[in-house]
Amino acid sequence: MAFCPKCKSEFKAGIVECADCNVPLIGALSMDEIIDFTELYACNTILEAEHLKIILKERNIDCNLRLIECSSFPLSAGVTSETRLVVPMNYVATARQIIQECIENHEISDKGLFIE
Ligand SMILES: [Zn+2]
């Protein structure tokens, strides 16, 4: 089992580089280095998700985006997708506060949903 040192993703044996971060994988991480990430917020659009990601990164919160394909809307013509903001567990409270500020300042719409 190998890990990406940047995003902490796990990879199967044989893969040598993280496709997202373009960095070489390492064999294993010490327990201290393994950070649990959690889905915090489901963004209304990918643009809002990208916007929040930049804002959080500016505050030194290492977050990622996860695109969820969703076809559960019977009335929609095609497949819709939702973008979820993934943040480290220890930054959930801070990130939530920042997102709420963004909503209040109308930097993003209030159509997103908190998951965590
Ligand atoms: Zn990675």
Q: Which domains does the chain have, with CATH numbers?
A: 1-34 (no CATH), 36-116 (3.30.70.790)
3 C-alpha to ligand 1 centroid (Å): 8
Q: How far is CA 48 from CA 33, 75, 80, in A?
A: 29, 24, 16
pLDDT in tens, 82-95: 899 999 998 999 99
Å from CA of 64 to ligand 1 middle: 10
Ligand 1 mean position, distance from CA 10 (Å)? 9
Q: How many other CB atoms sit within 10 Å of the CB of residue 38?
A: 16
Share of the chain above pLDDT 90, in %: 49
Whole-model pTM: value is 0.64
Q: At what angle do helices 46-58 and 92-104 cross, to 10 degrees?
A: 120
Distance 105 CA to ligand 1 centre (A): 32
CA 5 vs CA 24, 26, 99: distances in Å = 8, 7, 26
